[in-house]
Structures are given as C-alpha cells and as structure tokens.
Structure 1
Amino acid sequence: MNTPLLERTGKRRIPRKYLIGIATALVLALAAGLALPVFIRARLPYDAKDYERAREAGDDDRILEIYHALRQARSAFPDKKQSDRIKALDLEAAAVIKKIEQDAGQKSRLLISSAKTGGRLSDDDINWMELFAPVAGREMTGASEETIEQYLSGKMAEEDFRRFIGEMIRIPLLSREFQAIEKGIETVNLIKELLGKAETARVSEDYNEEIKIIQKILSDADLSGLESVSAYLSHRHDRAWQDFYREQIVLIRQEMAHRKTYDASIRINRLLNRFSEDPELLSFKRDCDECNPESVVTWWDPVEHLAVKPLIADPGRAFDGDRYQAAADQNLLLGVEFERTLEQLYERNYVLVDSRSFATREGTLRSMPCPAGKKPIVLVLEDFYSSFPRAESGVAWRLDLNSRGQVEGVLLDRDGSEKFDRSFTAIGILEAFIERHPDFSFNGATGVIALVGQNGIFGYPVADVQDLARQRGGADMGVDLPPLPRTDFSANREKVRAIVSALESRNWKIASGTYNRLSLPFVTVEEIRQDITMTEMWVEPYTGKLSALYCPFGDHIEADPDKTKIYTESGYMLQSGYGAWPYWHGGDGYVYVSRTFLSGAGLRQPRTVNLERFLDAGQVMDRESRPLGNR
C-alpha cells in the first residue's frame, strides 16, 4: 500500500556511459603524467660524437661552441637534484671537456715546441692560440715555462732562447711575460750563471750551498715582471730545501742516538727556519735544550789530553810481590784512582770533548765549541791490549758486553775462572761517571782507545798470528797458565765487531798504538811500514780505518819528518806523544797534540809531569792498596 511515509528516498544513479567516460579520462591523464618526464628528461646540448665530428671537420668555432656549452651545462648541475641521471651527465660532460682540453693542449705544446727548435709560427697559428687560450692556456703557459727552465738550467743556447722569446711575444696570452724577459735578459743571464753554480753544488750533494746561492738570487735580483723565472727559482729553492731536509734529518737522528745534542741542535735550528712545525724536529729540539749548556764559547787554545793505561781492577793480584808488581805500581792506576781522577777533573771544570773536534780531515787545526766556563779535555786509554802478564797484575783480561749492551771488564783468575764488572775497565767507569754527571761530557764525548794489536783486539785474537803472540808472552812468564778453551777465531771476530759497535754508539774513538807496540824513534822506516800493514790486515777490518796515532810510551817522532810522513800518507791525520803541557801544531798534513801520562809514579811525583793542573795527587792515590814501600 502506497502512503507518503513509504515513498522512495534513494539518490539518482549516474548513467553507465558517463562512468566509462570519466574512467577513460583519468587513465589518459595518468598516462600523460607518466610520459611527460620522458619528453622533459635532462640531456646535454652536445656529446662526444658531436665533438669528434667537429674535430674531423676542423671546425674550431664549433669545437669552442661545444666546449663552452658543456661547461655552462655542468655549472647548472649543482643546483639540480643529484639523481643518478644528473651524475651520469656530469661525468659525460667532464669527459668531453677534458678531451677537448687535452687535444688543444697537445696542439699548443707542438706549436711552442716548434718555436723552441727555431720554427716560426704562422698567423693562423697565432690566431688559433689566441682563440683557444681559454681552453689550453695552462698548457701554453706550462710549455713556455718549461723552455724558460731549460734555458736557465743551461740546456738551451742564448741565441735560440732569444728567437723563442720573439715568437712568444706574438702570442697574446704570453706576450707580457716574454716582453719582460726580453727587457730583463741581462738579469736572466746573470741568474742563469748563478744557477749553474747551484747545480754544481746540487750534483755534489751540497744542498746547503745550493740553498745559499738561490736565496741570494731571490734576495738580490730584480724579478719584476719575471713571473716564470721567479716561479722556477722558488721551485728550485723548495726542492733544495727538501733535499737538504732529507739529508739532515738522517744525520740528526744519528746524532741524537749518539747523544751529540750540540751538533744536532745546529742542524735542527737550521731546518726549523724552513720547517717550523715539523713535529720530529720540535721534539728533538726540546731534548737538546734540556741537555745542552746555556752558553757555548769558541775555544782557540791547545786542548788538554790526559792518558792512562789499562786499570788495575784487582789490587791484591797486582801487588802480591811477584815480578810484575813494580811495573804495575809504576805505570798503572787503580780503578778507584781513576774514578777519583774523574771527580777532580769534574770539580775543576774540565769537560770531555771529542778528540777530532779541533782537527780537520785535512790535518789542520781549527777552533772548537766549548761550554762557557769549562776547560776542554780529551781522555786517552792508551797502550790498550791484554796479555797473561797483565792478567797476572789484576788487569782485565778481555772486554765483554753485559745484558744491557754495556762494556765491562773480565778478570781471569789463575784457575781459569772469570769475573765480570763494568768497574774492571776505565771504559765502564767513565761511562758510569757520565751517567751520574752528564754535563761532564760535551756533545756526547767519551774518550779515545789506542789499540795495540799484536795479541788481539780487546782481548780477542782474530788470527793465528795474534794467538801465537799471546801464547809466547804467556810462556815467557815461567809459570803455569790458566786453562783456557781452544781459540775460536770466528766467535772472536763476531765479539770484537759487537764491542766496536757498542763503543761507537757511545762515541768512543778508536785509534792506533801501533800493532807491535813500537818505540817509534828507535825503529826503522821499513819496520814502521810493516807495522802499518799488520794493522791494516788484522785490526782495521774490525775497527774501520784508523786515523789517529798515539805513539807508544809517548815516544813521538816530531823530529823525524820521514816517519811522520809515512803515517800521514797512511791516513793518520792526528799524532800524539807525551808532554807536560798542552801543546799542538798542524799544517803538515796532520795535527800533533801532546798528552800527559797519568800513572802510579806520576801520582807520587805529580810535579814531574805537571799533574797539579788536573788533580790533587794526594787525594787520588789509594795508599792503602799500593805497596807499602812506595806509598
């Protein structure tokens, strides 16, 4: 039944044909939206194929158009979203630009090279170089600068260089630079001459001299307008400093390892002028500042030399009434006496210096640095050899190295047993004293060891001839020798090398006391030659070339120029004999120095050798240990 309350209330339906139309429109709109990026997708104005076609056609205008268009396109890429597409296009554009620049640069170099070898550039060449200056300007400038460098380094004749200048003036990009060179050719030629001297210094690896020459050019020459010349000089200057640094830093490291802090500080300060923030140099400088004296003066006077023979380490053995007692009492010091000597030298403001610091390699004297308020002295451990008689006198039988690599003396008892201690040798006593008083040593100095080689080196025969000599010396004693193992020459040689290395690391200088302990004034020239040959054969292979001679017994040969000449010609640029006063002279190919011998006899009669300047003999002598009748 139809009533008003039951009337239809639903909305009117949209006809099907309209729905289909709307759906079709939406699909078309979506398709258009998806297709639009394809039509507006980013792309380059030109690609590599466009450039190749222009290059093959010789169309320079087209090449420049491509070059500038691609550069402009790349400049816009940073403002775009960095999609993979943009990144790929940027790489593609960069590759084409690089190819254009390389090709233009190669052509520029060929043209400039032609001018360098005497060719004349055509007007078309000049126009092309002006046109392509924005593309290949760096290569043009580089090629011209290389030619300038060739001339300055002496690899190009002046006539050819002048002709080259004339051609470069025609190129607008290079005209101003080469007009200045043409105008300042006299200055350029003077620089060229000085650089020749710098190159000579460089070839001889004298980088410091090379730096000085170039610095003088940079400070004295008028380089106005000569940018390429100035740049080349700066490059040479930088290179010289780098070479100098590489050379010096090796020496600095070596000197610091050897505690030669004064020598190292000079090199360090020189390098810090250029490399002011180098961390290694700054660290080394701090160490040097802690070790070096506050003030150093130049010393011109003769340097004192004080000599001792190997020490008595066992007084009871030395002074037991045997036939060696008198000689030991007269010639040798006890270990405690040597230590007291060091204490008195230290209290009297003596300071150890290197035995070569006052002599040149050419055998001439020179001044030397010395801490202010100190007196330089060289300690000489002379007559350094071992023998059975010396072992019987309580002297170290040989040297050895302890677990810390320090040199120690070895005492040989009559039963063949051995005792080891640093205090058994003057080497160990002095090194220990320096450890307690580092300011007693200037620039890491220790002392000199003058070897006698006939019985071996540091107590080790390295050849049959030395072993036999030692055995003969023992046989002459007329007593039973301590039982010893068979000599192992190979092991001995290795031990000697190790000891030499340890001594050198602590700045000991090894010298000659002659091979056979010769009294040089009383032997023939031929005997001296033979002795030098024996040293060369059996000592120097382990110590290195010896260049100092400390005449045995202090018997110098200054009155015999033929004998001194033999030693000088054999490389002994320092020679020494006994004297009661400091004395030296040089100039004959060697330096002579006098040394004062400190012995038991000298302690009893110190005035005979003027020992009072070094020590108070009464405070040094160990009267309790020495024979009663000689106290």
Structure 2
Amino acid sequence: MKSLRLAVSVGLAMALAACSAQTTPETPSSDSAAPEQSQQEQQRVSNVKAEINRLADGYDYDAAIKLAKKDGNDSLSSMVAGLEDEKEHTTAWDQPDKIPHLFFHSLIVDTDRAFDKESSSAGYEDYMVTQKEFSAILSSLYAKDYVLVNPHDFAGLNKQKKMEYRKIMLPKGKKPLVLSVDDVSYYEYMEGDGFASKLVLDKDGKVRNEYVDAAGKKHIGAYDVTTMVDDFINKHPDFTYRGARGLVAMTGYNGVFGYRTSESQYPNNKNLKEDQEKATAIAKSMKETGWVFASHSWGHIQTGTVSMGRLERDTKLWKKEVEPIVGATDQFIYPFGSDIAHTSEYSGPRYEYLKKQGFRYFYGVDGTTESWMQQRSDYQRQMRINVDGLQFAKEERGDRPVLGSFFDVEKVIDPARK
C-alpha cells in the first residue's frame, strides 16, 4: 500500500521536474529571493509529506487524506489516490471485546546488580523483565502483526453518554494490543539495583531515562519501557494505531518519574516545586507523544479489600499530589490486580465512589487467558496479562501457555535469569 502512495507522489514530482528542465528560462534574475523562497517551499512540502506519511503509517488515513487535500501543492495532492487505496484495504477489528493487554514493570538494565541475591533480588526476578527480554518481546509482537492501541481507540462514551465499542480500522492480518507499565516512580528502594533512576527531558525536549551505572556514571537514553517503546515506534511507525503508546500506571507515595513530588511524604524537600515542575513537563510531553496516564492508587493499596475510609483518603491524596502533574484521567489500574468485584458486574459503594471520581476504564490481572473484557453502559473493563519472571517459569507456563500467543519465552529469556 505504502509503495503506491509514494509512487504516485514521486511520479508527479519527476514529471514536474522534467517539464521544468524543458523550459528555457528567460533573462536570469539577479534576485536571490526566488531561489531561497523555492528552497523554503521545498522544505515545507517535504515536512508536510513526512507528516502525511506518519499519519498513514499509523493507520489514520482520514487525517492523512485531509492534510494532503488541504495543501495546494501538486505533489501532496497526488498522494491522495494512494492514501484512499490504502484506506479501502482496512477493515474493522471484528472482535472488539477480545483485545489482549500486556503489562510490565520497570526494566532491569544491570542484571548483575538486580540478581545479586540480596533482599530485593527475588522480587526483581519474579516481577520484572530485563531490557534484553523486553527488546526481544517488542520485536516478536511486531513480527506477529500486533499494533498498539489505547483504550479510547476501542471504547468510549457515545452521544447518549453510554459506553460502547469503537471501530479499530486495520489492514488484514493486523491485531490490536494494549500495553501498560506500572509504577513509573523509580522508587527509592530500587536505587543502586541496576534500574533507570528517573525520566528526564533531553536538550531536544524528548523524554529519556537517566541511568547510573555501577561505576556511578550517568547515562541518558532509553533504559525503560516507555522510552524503548518510543524508540521502537520511531523505527516502526506501523506498530502504533494513530499514535497510541500505552497506559502508565502511577502511584504517588514516592513521587513520580524519579522525582520526590509528594508534599505529604517529603515536606522537607527543598526542590519540591522544581521537582513538580520537571515532572509536569515530562507528563505533558508523554501525553503529546501518545501515552495515557492511569491511577494506580496513591499508596499502591489493595483497593478490593481496604476499608472505604482508606480508599477515600488514598484517592484524595492521588487527586492532590499526582493528578496536578499527570492530569485528570478516567483510567484506573488496580494495584496487585485487587479488583473491587473480581469478574462480577460492578455495583455497590466502592464502584459508585470510583465512578464519582471520574473513572470509567478499569483493569485487573489475569495471566491465564489471552483476553478478558467486560463492558456495561457506564464502564469498560479489561484484564491484563503480567509479563514477568513468574510467567516465564516453566512450571507456570505448563498451566499458563498464554504468553506463546505473543512471543516464545525460551527465545526471549535473558541468560542472566537462568
């Protein structure tokens, strides 16, 4: 499809160039403004063409066609036929209630430090994956034709304010997938254990990780889930549906993104305001890139079993200390997978309270089935598959072969884990 889109554009450009070459110019102009203006126009057209291709690569053909038609440049207008042909070859995903959801925790960068058999190492082995494993998983997902989608892509409120499934238009063979990452706070207990230490904005305003190696040297780059996904999509723009990345589940008790932004927990932090400003700028950039933030509760509490009083106090803290940084959200990801109703329909005081707080999308955990979703008139629900050391274990895989739909564990598993 893409070749037709480009071929039409290139063909017209070559024809225009040929016509230009056959035209005998009149008296040469001494005015240098015309060539300069021509170069500026060429650059402008090139930039618009790149944006059209980006939109089309992400399956947003309507936006791409609109942009191509809006511009009066012939080489851009010539792209419309190819774009419309590509759009014609898409169909609506025929199982909107069967979309898988994989979730991860922060990635292990240095396995020597993470797997050093000290107090936290068992937890890291059980609940984390390494950078090497995650890189291989992304490649496998892409090879299997999965495409990242965000919740609002597949479900939302209609004109009657009722939740309903939305059409996801994809080429034949492509399959939607939701990805999420929990606890992007870079907790204090993880310091020195071989993980990224925080998120930062580089000199170009791009979100990157800061990573401190075993020798104490700082590095800036892609060392965790969100930044690695961003880089992967830069190389493979057809891995995202209309710019989708995934969900980022945020707590607040230890701050966010590696910044100690909690006023209640760090009242003596002299850099509190600066940390909050930095974190807010990072969240803004991530949302513009396509990431969606979700509440993971402020204190990572067992939402399904704690008292209503505790749930209310915790939610107020999240609203006070996290929401001003990441923005309001209608997404709620249960810590520990502690769903308020297991798999039953939602009702009762806990649900009514969360609904009153603006939450409409809810996520539990089920690592035994490829997809589980439940939609009612006022909410959308999805279970997530944990991708971690527990699922990698052979005894678990015997009872839970679900990961095989996405990647071969034996091929992705890091030798450092064995």
Q: Over residues 519-567 of structure 1, what are the superposed CA-to-partner deviations in whole Å (9 max), with x where a residue is unaligned?
A: 1122012211111111111111121111101111222122463222221
Using the TM superposition, give the Cα deviation of residue 393 of structure 1 relative to its aligned residue in structure 2, in angstroms.
2.8
CA distance in 2, matches of 1:380, 1:285: 39
Using the TM superposition, give the Cα deviation of residue 365 of structure 1 relative to its aligned residue in structure 2, in angstroms.
3.0
- What letter is aligned with 2:107? L
Instruction: Tell me the SS of whatever aligns to 2:244.
Output: coil
Map of 1:444 onto structure 2? 243
Using the TM superposition, give the Cα deviation of residue 263 of structure 1 relative to its aligned residue in structure 2, in angstroms.
7.6
Q: Which runs of 5+ in 2 are unaligned?
A: 1-47
Q: Over residues 374-395 of structure 1, what are the superposed CA-to-partner deviations in whole Å (9 max), with x where a residue is unaligned?
A: 1100110123322222223322
Alpha-carbon spacing, 1:292–1:313, altered in 2? closer, same or farther (3 Å): farther
Instruction: Tell me the SS of whatever aligns to 1:381.
Output: strand
Q: How many residues align?
A: 352
Would you say the 8 A contact 2:196–2:209 is kept in 1?
A: yes
CA distance in 2, matches of 1:430, 1:552: 23
Q: Over residues 151-191 of structure 1, what are the superposed CA-to-partner deviations in whole Å (9 max), with x where a residue is unaligned?
A: xxxxxxxxxxxxxxxxxxxxxxxxxxxxxxxxxxxxxxxxx
Instruction: Tell me the SS of whatever aligns to 1:465.
Output: coil
Map of 2:296 onto structure 1? 513
Alpha-carbon spacing, 1:545–1:323, altered in 2? closer, same or farther (3 Å): same
1:24-423 to structure 2, matched below 5 A, reads 260-261=55-56, 265-267=61-63, 269=65, 278-279=71-72, 283=76, 286=79, 289=83, 295-301=89-95, 302-361=98-157, 362=161, 364-371=163-170, 372-412=172-212, 417=216, 419-423=218-222
Would you say the 8 A contact 2:146–2:239 is kept in 1?
A: yes
TM-score normalised over the length of structure 1: 0.51
Would you say the 8 A contact 1:454–1:466 is kept in 2?
A: yes
Map of 2:3 onto structure 1? none
CA distance in 2, matches of 1:290, 1:278: 16
Q: Over residues 40-92 of structure 1, what are the superposed CA-to-partner deviations in whole Å (9 max), with x where a residue is unaligned?
A: xxxxxxxxxxxxxxxxxxxxxxxxxxxxxxxxxxxxxxxxxxxxxxxxxxxxx
Alpha-carbon spacing, 1:499–1:283, altered in 2? closer, same or farther (3 Å): farther
Using the TM superposition, give the Cα deviation of residue 606 of structure 1 relative to its aligned residue in structure 2, in angstroms.
3.1
Instruction: Tell me the SS of whatever aligns to 2:358.
Output: coil
CA RMSD of aligned residues (A): 3.0
CA distance in 1, matches of 2:162, 2:317: 24
CA distance in 2, matches of 1:284, 1:409: 40
Tell me the percent identity.
25
Higher relative contact order (CA 8 A, sep 6+): 2
Map of 1:619 onto structure 2? 411
- What letter is aligned with 1:561? S
Map of 1:156 onto structure 2? none
Using the TM superposition, give the Cα deviation of residue 290 of structure 1 relative to its aligned residue in structure 2, in angstroms.
11
CA distance in 1, matches of 2:73, 2:277: 35
Which of 375, 393, 417 does residue 586 from structure 1 map onto?
375
Using the TM superposition, give the Cα deviation of residue 409 of structure 1 relative to its aligned residue in structure 2, in angstroms.
1.8
Q: Which runs of 5+ in 1 are unaligned?
A: 1-252, 472-485
TM-score normalised over the length of structure 2: 0.76
Looking at secondary structure, tell me which structure has more strand per residue: 2
Instruction: Tell me the SS of whatever aligns to 1:279.
Output: coil
Alpha-carbon spacing, 1:269–1:507, altered in 2? closer, same or farther (3 Å): same
CA distance in 1, matches of 2:262, 2:124: 28
Map of 2:41 onto structure 1? none
Map of 1:606 onto structure 2? 397
CA distance in 1, matches of 2:217, 2:274: 18
Would you say the 8 A contact 1:303–1:378 is kept in 2?
A: yes
Would you say the 8 A contact 1:258–1:506 is kept in 2?
A: no
